[in-house]
Amino acid sequence: MVAVMSVSETQMPDTWQTGERIAEIETLSVAPDARGTGIGSALLDHVDEELRSAAIDDVLVGAFVSNTDAIRLYERRGFRPAWMYLQRLGGRSA
């Protein structure tokens, strides 16, 4: 799922300079047995095409720190770390 919103609706207007609209990839997942087959890249290709057609250049995506394969994919696609969330889960670890 990709959410597109006005930058004024986000926490970003006074933090980074962005275009008028920004997209956030909320969910992008590939079934475990299909990982490493290029499906993630194909999904991002499609997202990029849609965003290009909407004239949106700025994109956010989140990934769990432990999901090194996804992080590697996003970094190959030009994404760079911007912020980090910390959590405490009542005796469970992330």
pLDDT at 93 over 90: no
Q: Is the pTM of this model over 0.75?
A: no
Range of the domain at 52: 2-76
The identity of residue 11, as a single letter, is Q
How far, in Å, CA of 66 to CA of 70, rounded?
9
Domain count, the chain: 1
E strands within the chain? Answer: 2-6, 21-25, 58-61
Reported confidence tier of residue 20, pLDDT bands at 50, 70, 90: confident
The residue-averaged pLDDT of 16-31 equals 83
pLDDT of residue 45: 97
Q: Is residue 63 part of a domain?
A: yes
pLDDT of residue 18: 72
Q: Is residue 54 part of a domain?
A: yes
Q: Is residue 87 part of a domain?
A: no
Question: pLDDT tens-digit profile of 24-44?
Answer: 898 889 999 999 999 999 999
